[in-house]
Chain A
């Protein structure tokens, strides 16, 4: 009954979305305020309906309703409650429902927080959001309906892939989708602007918070995915250049470019057509990513069960959405007039360089990901494009960009003084030199590229702090004045500083992985392995029952110079329903390095394979990502405050008066 309610709500949502995508658009063209106002209510109703559909599917999972095919295929009564709920989006149909749920959430957010938007722009933006919704609701209802039933009910479900039964992976898709789908707002703003034929500073200011928020979510989503593979795969790899990873990384790269180019539009009223194109491409890459993951045209470890008819349907959606918006772009963009002029050496110039390198980086990832498919389609040889390609092609492009991140913010708008900026970075030269020397000394001249990467990180970190010090004129004016300046700095300035510091921290984490050490040994209970100064002793392995698995739980004592550091418990878990074994690693971090222990197989004599890894600075990868996302949030809080001021003041005033009268 509740399932039918959800199914019906989803169908109703489709019709609401159809209204939302047409009526306001016509209203905006005819300047009919009433028709334009339909957009808001439609967006809110659509959100309510899809939320209802989502909740009813969750209900079916929680109550283990085995008349619903989707529940049979992906759930089991023995599964812990958390994974019953997250299992909803652990499969193709459910994850598509989550996708449109996030889309309607974004539309509802635009509808709610758009008091300061001109009514026509708001109507058009919501109408484009509605069109995207129509496309994906049709896709769900016709090819991937999670509400289909079967009778008689199955005795029990087939369970969920044990690899997916993990807290990290449970919350990875919602963040990732919020990021992907959040870029739909920037896309809708771009399409609306092309229809209106106007892009100005105000437009950029409206788009920016949505782009920033999506970017933050995507950053967190990607970081969670990478962290998950780090602690699950049993040997600590955190990035594989896998097509599915690349599918999330490409929108991130272009989205990052977009955040920077939209600043130029806002402050200097130029780079407009480029920014519009980035808005379109960022969301298009999210859509292409969805297509790649679900159509089965690329081989990937993460791919969902695939089906060519679904692939064709998504391809059709791509043609309509991307083809349509790019056609509009080709027709309308040439009419947009660029504004402010600037010298090549200037803040604008550095942001152009940033955009150029990020776009080329994205194009490289795109080429590497799809090259096997291109060759195959042309009847060429079967090839793999793996990490060596990306390390040789993508990474070198990011080096000049990271160098430029240190200098760019020190350049003035319009016309900058490169020499002056380079002179002010004296602290960065010293820090870089010291870090490189120290790294060479500690690692006895270890891998050159990794040492260089650490130097790059130090350069970036110090340069970003130098920029902040310059802003508050630290040591040039009395400390109290500097402090006052620091307090009055806009939050967006702190946001940028934090995001760039986060990048520096992550770069250090990426680079240091070349210094990893490992020891893989077969040990008897009581035996030990030494690595990087640690003494890792396997005390005993116990068989323990879990909720839906049986675990071999190892008790491992870690000591250093005879002092107990802690006990660690890596496990091997056997899931009888799926007849699969997973490995639960155990990680001990001191934030400077991780000690990573995984339990391998046991042989007939009762000896166990134990894998111990020592990974310096690896936690910094994710700490950096969190700092980056936090910087985005800080910047976001500044924008909202500024944008909201006018409208809030207007609304508050009438209410204040009666209060005073009482």
Chain B
């Protein structure tokens, strides 16, 4: 009976080690936060478009599965995913809409002129209100919203070919089997 007290520290230590091992597993990234908005209706927004392309509103996007990408010209990781977005838009007809987060139309135009424009339409979120309502905490972030306007998936950080193949495309297929 008395021995238990002497073994207890060792047992507790190995429980701790177990937790540490789990936390160190690759793919177990403690820094990535889940979205609180998952499976909830996407917040409404009504953003001025770039140039004279008309406003981008959440109401206007309802009825279709859409992918919304928050990006900015000052954001370095956005450059990483940019070529991938272009390819997806051209080859897979990705229904991609952009929200330019805390940026100016001039900067965005320069960015798109230089690197190409993967977006069907762009909304200017200069004050970052739309981002705030979506719970964006850093750009780029990418949201998949279904035809009912429900957020189904959130990608934090740049999309990679791997996440696109394994997560984004299967989800889109499941949401809209016809395309």
A contact residues vs B (CB 8 Å cutoff): 273, 277, 280-281, 284, 288, 291, 295-299, 308, 311-312, 315, 318-319, 322-323, 326-327, 329-330, 333-334, 370, 372-374, 376-377, 382
Q: Which residues of A contact B20 (CB under 8 A)?
A: 291, 295, 297, 311, 315, 318
Given A329-B10, A334-B6, also A382-B24 (CB < 8 A): no
B34: chain A residues within 8 A (beta carbon): 382
Q: Could you write out 12 A-B pairs with CB less than 8 Å apart? A: A277-B9, A288-B16, A298-B30, A308-B24, A308-B26, A315-B20, A323-B10, A329-B6, A330-B6, A334-B2, A377-B23, A382-B34
Interface string of B1-24 (1 = CB under 8 A from A): 011001101100110110111111
CA distance A299 to B23 in the complex (A): 12
Q: How far is A373 from B16 in the complex, measured between Cα atoms in Å?
A: 10
- Shortest beta-carbon distance, A140 to chain B, in Å? 20
CB pair B23–A297 under 8 Å, yes or no, is yes
- On chain A, the residues within 8 Å of B24 by CB distance are 295, 297, 308, 311-312, 315
CB-CB nearest 9 A-B residue pairs: A377-B22, A326-B10, A297-B23, A330-B7, A377-B19, A330-B6, A311-B24, A333-B6, A326-B9
Residues of B within 8 A of A370 (CB): 16, 19
Nearest B-chain residue to A318, judged by Cβ: B17
| Interface range, B side | 20 to 34
Main secondary structure of the interface of A (DSSP, over half): helix
B6: A residues at CB distance < 8 A: 273, 329-330, 333-334
How far, in whole Å, are A323 and B19 apart by their CA atoms in the complex? 15
Which chain B residues lie closer than 8 Å to A308 at the CB level?
24, 26
Q: Which residues of B contact A312 (CB under 8 A)?
A: 24
Contact: B13 with A376, CB < 8 Å?
A: no
**A235 to chain B: closest CB distance in Å?**
22
Question: Does B106 count as interface, using CB distance less than 8 angstroms?
Answer: no
The docked-state distance in angstroms from the alpha carbon of A311 to that of B29 is 13
Residue of A whose beta carbon sits closest to that of B4: A330
- Which residues of B are at the interface with A, using a C-beta cutoff of 8 A? 2-3, 6-7, 9-10, 13-14, 16-17, 19-24, 26, 30-31, 33-34
Given contacts A299-B31, A318-B17, A323-B17, contact A373 B23 (CB under 8 A): yes
Please name the residue on chain A nearest to B33 by beta carbon: A382
Inter-chain CA distance A326–B7, complex, in Å, is 8
- The residues of B that contact A382 with a CB separation of less than 8 Å are 33-34
Tell me which of B3, B7, B20, B30 has the highest count of chain A C-beta atoms within 10 A of its own C-beta: B20
Partner of A315, one of B17, B26, B33: B17
Closest beta carbon of chain B to A571's beta carbon, Å: 26
Contact, CB under 8 Å: A297 / B30: yes
Task: Report B-chain residues with C-beta under 8 Å of the C-beta of A281.
Answer: 9
* Chain B, Cβ-Cβ closest to A331: B6
A373 contact set on B, CB distance < 8 A: 19, 23, 30
Closest B residue to A280 by beta carbon equals B9
Interface residue from B9, B17, B30 paired with A299 (Cβ < 8 Å): B30
Return B29 CB to nearest CB of chain A, in Å: 9
- Docked-complex contact B23 and A376, CB < 8 angstroms: yes
- A372 nearest CB neighbor, chain B only: B30
Complex interface: chain A residues within 8 A of B30 (CB) = 296-299, 372-373, 376
B163 to chain A, nearest CB (A): 19
Cα distance, A471 to B8, chains bound together (Å): 41
Contact A323 B13 (CB under 8 A): yes
Residue among B9, B14, B16, B33 making CB contact with A329, cutoff 8 Å:
B9
In the complex, the answer to whether A330 meets B23 with C-beta atoms within 8 Å is no
A377 to B21 alpha-carbon distance, docked (Å): 9
- When C-beta atoms are compared, the residue in chain B nearest to A306 turns out to be B31
Cα A277 to Cα B8 in complex, Å, equals 11
Assess whether B19 is in contact with A319, with CB atoms less than 8 Å apart. Answer: no
**Residues in chain A near residue B14, CB distance under 8 A:** 323
Q: Which of A281, A296, A326 has the most CB of B within 10 A?
A: A326
**Which chain A residues border B23 with CB–CB below 8 Å?**
297, 373, 376-377
- Contacts A297-B23, A311-B24 known; A319 to B17 CB distance under 8 Å? yes
CB distance from B8 to the nearest CB of A (A): 9
* Complex-state Cα separation, A382 to B30, whole angstroms: 9
Collect the chain A residues with CB atoms within 8 Å of residue B33's CB: 382
Q: Which residues of B contact A299 (CB under 8 A)?
A: 30-31
Chain A nearest CB, measured from B154 CB (Å): 13
Cα A333 to Cα B9 in complex, Å, equals 12
Measured CA separation A311–B30 after assembly (Å): 14
